[in-house]
Amino acid sequence: MHEPRDVEELIATCREARARTLALVEDLAERDWLGPRLAIVNPTRWELGHVAWFQEKWCLRQLRGRPALRADADALYDSAAVLHDTRWDLALPERAGTLAYAEAVLAEVERALRRDGELGADARYYHLLALYHEDMHGEAFLYTRQTHALDAPSCAGPATTGGGACPGDVELPGGRVLLGARRGPGFVFDNEQWAHEVELAPFRMARACVTQAEFAAFVADDGYARDELWTPAGRAWRRAHGAAHPLHWRRTAGGGFERRRFRAWVALEPHLPVHFVNAFEAEAWCAWAGRRLPSEAEWEHAAGPARFPWGDEAPTRAHAALDLTGFEPCEVGAHAAGDSPQGVRQLLGNVWEWTASDFGPYPGFAPGPYREYSAPWFGDHRVLRGGAFATRARLLRNTWRNFYTPDRRDVLAGFRSCAR
């Protein structure tokens, strides 16, 4: 999606982003705004306040030298200073106070933009940084709803049907290829900077992500109990957590599986991508199937040199499952219009894809103004690519890098494989 061209378009985009954020949380019961203490998700009262605080910090305080709207804002909402486990114990405003703070910040941002009248380079950067940060947390609110077995958000569209399977591999050439964002106008995060050459051998990549049916066959073959299929780190994780199947799956009386989709239990849909699996589970499936995960360089090479796999045209509903047009992934054979020129499907949208690559800096890396965005996570996080059905389309491009620790199972992540 194109970036806002002027002040009025930026204001409208910020309003739309805030409306989407509120639509993801406003229907929650009062008790669910705090929720149980868990190591993997945030309390909603804290997270919404953090989204507003981040916008205030960068767009009002950093850019324009404004004082904080709340004297306690940093002590409550600064994610770099407030430890995750303490966020339930803070003197957080109640729901009404949290909403009022978010509304006040957005109103002050709008007034400041209108007083400016035009977008300078710094203003454009900081406002887009806050916008994309809010978009990322919107996806996290969906993770929270799934983790706590709440209903799907009312703003999500209905589940999409059809598409079926998408079997087979695509042959991709090797050689010297570019990895990373090309220099030019437009916002990119520091960890995408800048394009540099890497050497790739020719490889074969699956046309589609691994499906629930394909992963269920691995589980049925005692895949979780076979040490030889797991990396040392994967074995340690599996034993520590007693994992015997994907998160949100359970066995049925007939010996099969069903999965929890938000609050409801449903039968496995064979052609949907397996999701809510971590990198260790993905690697074990690959070992079982005689496959491997792609490197992020291979993934980006498969996506191609254009902005998106299909070219430079902005994503539409025909291209990809994005923007919560449905409340869960679609079948892996859907969205043929979004194929890469070589025929790889759904490289953008539907589910995030684990890669074999550790998250690290590109050559010459220099942190951006938001120094905590990338550098603290180099080394112990794993790269994911491609986006999910809940990801905002305006966030994504072929060079966009997501990153989580390889044990995370609460994110909308699946994987595709490559031939060994």
Sheet holding 418-419, edge to edge: 169-172, 203-206, 418-419, 291-292
The verdict on residue 43 lying in a domain is yes
Tell me: do 67 and 192 sit in the same domain.
no
- Is residue 201 included in any domain, yes or no? yes
pLDDT at residue 288, as a whole number: 98
* Those residues with Cβ within 8 angstroms of residue 10's Cβ, 6 or more apart along the chain or in another chain: 4, 113, 119, 124, 127
β strands within 225-281, DSSP E: 249-251, 257-261, 264-267
User: Which CATH number is 37's domain given?
Assistant: 1.20.120.450
My answer on whether 341 and 376 are in the same domain is yes
Residue 66 and residue 11: Cα distance in Å, rounded? 19
Please tell me whether residues 174 and 132 are part of one structural domain: no
Do residue 134 and residue 259 come from a single domain? no
342 neighbors 172 (Cβ within 8 angstroms): yes
Cα 145 → chain centroid: 15
Number of domains in the chain: 2
Domain contains 1: no
Q: What does the pLDDT read at residue 38?
A: 86
Let me know whether 115 and 259 are in one domain.
no
One domain for residues 287 and 379? yes
Same domain for 178 and 321? yes
Decide if 367 contacts 375 (C-beta within 8 A).
yes
The reported pLDDT for the residue numbered 126 is: 97
Whether 97 is in a domain gets the answer: yes
Asked if 195 and 130 sit in the same domain, the reply is no
Dihedral sign from CA coordinates of 350, 124, 101, 51: positive
305: in domain: yes
For residue 1, the model assigns a pLDDT of 56
Asked if 204 and 172 count as a contact pair (C-beta separation under 8 A), the reply is yes
Both 91 and 175 in a single domain? no
CATH code for the domain in which residue 353 is found: 3.90.1580.10
pTM, entire model: 0.97
End-to-end CA distance of the chain: 36
User: End of a domain among 114, 147, 180?
Assistant: 147
Quick one: 289 and 407 in the same domain?
Answer: yes
CA atoms within 13 A on the CB side of 81: 9
pLDDT at 299: 98
β-sheet bridge partners, residue 186: none
Domain region containing 270: 169-212+245-419
Is residue 323 situated within a structural domain?
yes
- Asked if residue 180 and residue 139 are part of one domain, the reply reads no
Q: What is the pLDDT along the chain (420 residues), one digit of tens a residue?
A: 579 989 999 999 999 999 999 999 999 999 999 999 988 899 999 999 999 999 999 999 999 999 999 999 999 999 999 999 999 999 999 999 999 999 999 999 999 999 999 999 999 999 999 999 999 999 999 999 999 999 999 999 998 899 999 999 999 999 999 999 999 989 999 999 999 999 999 999 999 999 999 999 999 999 999 999 999 999 999 999 999 999 999 999 998 999 999 999 999 999 999 999 999 999 999 999 999 999 999 999 999 999 999 999 999 999 999 999 999 999 999 999 999 999 999 999 999 999 999 999 999 999 999 999 999 999 999 999 999 999 999 999 999 999 999 999 999 999 999 999
* Contact criterion met (CB below 8 Å) for 213 and 200: no
Task: Report how far residue 156's alpha carbon sits from residue 327's, in angstroms, rounded to the nearest whole number.
Answer: 5
The token pair that represents 268 in the structure block: 């496995």
Residue at which a domain ends, from 113, 147, 181: 147
Domain boundary among 147, 181, 202: 147
- Structural domain contains residue 105: yes
pLDDT of residue 159: 86
